[in-house]
A and B are shown apart, each in its own frame.
Chain A
Amino acid sequence: MIKKLTLSGMLTALAVALAYLEHLFPIQALIPVPGVKMGLANTIILFAFIYLNARAALLILIIRCMIQSLLFGTLTGFLFSMSGGLLAFSITALLLPHYKTRFSAFGLCIAGAAMHHIGQIVAACLLFLSSSLIFYLPALLMLSLLTGMLTGYVCSFLFPRLERVIDLQNTKYG
């Protein structure tokens, strides 16, 4: 129980650090579409989902969003990343039972990135009371293929290393 709590805290810190890293090197400078981001923190959520459980992943997601917006974000940014994050969370929860049988980390990351952008746009539409913002979505969705591939690739490096550090085989985190 304590180990699980510690691991959750560590993963939250890692997620915040990755979000800060993205904040330092904004991908928007390269691709000028509002709302685009790498979504590196998503890899941590996915890891928590696979190696801990859904509840831990959800808590890490919510706390990460809160800390991120307190440290270097805005209130609207918080609303966007919350709605996007929750949608991405639900699609991951839906697909995870078929992980490694029907979907790889690529599929999970792409689905998560796409749903994140959908959630963002829906929140923006509600906030600004305008449905025309939805026409940003095609560009964002195509970019989410790219960023999803990238984060999926990052997962392929990250997961084996984290597994080794955390030594999941000899510890019970249930």
Chain B
Amino acid sequence: MNQHTVFKIGDLVIIILVILLAAGILLIGMFRNGTQQKQCVISQNNQVISIIPLQEDANQFIEIGGDYHNVIEVKGTQVRFLSSTCTNQVCVATGWIEYAHQSAACLPNYVLVEVVGGESVHVDAIS
């Protein structure tokens, strides 16, 4: 040890500040994840049309025009394409989606429905 490494009071202040900052960010992260609400984002032509919270008592039908006619059903914590006048019906076949990052799309009508927030789907990379 020499003059460069004699522990000073300022060192302790720096260490405490770093620990406080780490703890603060950790707390913010826990708080944010705890209250982050599950929502479904409906967009057409890359523009968000509406954002609907997915709560237990939600019950709503959204009709979207354009080249074709889509009906989206929000029920409780799930959302689906109820019907579509498009030719391939992929969006209706997707069925209910309810976990974060899941999505359903009607490409002929440029409509995308995404779930954001809440839990992710409980499936790992292997399954």
- Interface residues of chain A, those whose CB is within 8 Å of chain B, are 95, 98, 100-107, 110-111, 114, 134-135, 137-139, 141-142, 144-145, 152-153, 155-156, 159-160
Binds A, one of B4-12, B50-58, B61-69: B4-12
- Interface residues of chain B, those whose CB is within 8 Å of chain A, are 1-11, 13-15, 18-19, 21-23, 25-26, 29
Q: Is B25 a contact of A135 with CB atoms below 8 Å?
A: yes
Q: Which residues of A contact B23 (CB under 8 A)?
A: 138
Q: Which residues of B contact A155 (CB under 8 A)?
A: 4-5
Distance in Å: Cβ of B34 to nearest Cβ of chain A = 13
Q: Is A138 a contact of B22 with CB atoms below 8 Å?
A: yes
Q: Which residues of A contact B8 (CB under 8 A)?
A: 100-104, 107
Q: Is A103 a contact of B6 with CB atoms below 8 Å?
A: no
Q: Which residues of A contact B13 (CB under 8 A)?
A: 107
A143 to B72, CA, bound (A): 48
Nearest-neighbor residue (CB-CB) of A106 within chain B: B11
Q: Which residues of A contact B19 (CB under 8 A)?
A: 141-142, 145
